[in-house]
Amino acid sequence: MELLNAWERGLSEPATGRALALLTAACPDMSVDDVATLDIGERDRWLLTLREWTFGSQMESVIHCATCNERLEWSVNVADLRFANQSKLPGDFSLELDRYHVSFRLPNSMDLSAIADCDKPNDARDRLLDRCVIDSRLDGQQVSSRDLPASVADRVVERMGEADPQSNIELDLLCPACGHSWQALFDIESFFWTEITAWAKRILAEVHVLASAYGWPETEILNLSALRRQHYLGLVAG
């Protein structure tokens, strides 16, 4: 029931809000703000765990080859997508390049929300650095993150991804038809949300059938075990 409520709440939210809705439903002791301040990799690790609890450890999907458009089915285990826990790492990181010294923290969900409306990659990068750079200096003199040269700014963003590999998962894929190999970005939030949406629509369809047949209220139907619901659906179908 709570997962269905989380799905309903997430329908009016952008992608980041959907992830927060799912995690706060699964972790009632944590507030939305608590979850929103998790590093993206830590948040996605929790989403992987929640997905495993909900649908099991095996994940499957399809993708089309960019070279020959062949339909490719892929499968991966949740355990293969988990990186070492980042919680033991320091809360801030630093980079030295071309006489610049930059200290930064890892992005969280609030940072992603803040850059969601950026149409240009450079604008998103600059806004992200505004939020995540703790201190930036040139030859020891403090400068704004906006004054960092593009080479340094880009390297800081790259360093963020390197420091939090869980936030940037890529799958190695190979097309059996043409032999083309490539890496595809895996986004647990969108993958899990797609699964949750399909599940929720199926559950609501089952509620509709049983409510129409027996006159039972939604709450009573949802409180039935999946096995009993399927038994009653079989009886209705004859």
What are the residue boundaries of the structural domains of the chain, listed by start? 86-167
Question: What whole-number distance in Å separates Cα of residue 118 and Cα of residue 127?
Answer: 9
pTM confidence score: 0.88
Condensed to tens digits (0 to 9), the pLDDT of residues 184-232 reads 999 999 999 999 999 999 999 999 999 999 999 999 999 999 999 999 9
Condensed to tens digits (0 to 9), the pLDDT of residues 90-108 reads 567 999 999 999 999 999 9
Beta bridge partners of 62: 73
Which residues, including other chains, have CB under 8 Å from residue 101's CB and lie 6 or more apart?
A: 94, 95, 135, 136, 137, 140
Quick one: pLDDT at residue 3? 87
Segments of the chain with pLDDT less than 50: 87-88
Please compute Rg for the chain using Cα positions. Answer: 22
Quick one: pLDDT at residue 169? 93
Q: Which residue matches tokens 């390049």?
A: 97
Structure tokens at 104: 């930064």
Question: What whole-number distance in Å separates Cα of residue 41 and Cα of residue 163?
Answer: 10
Quick one: pLDDT at residue 63? 93
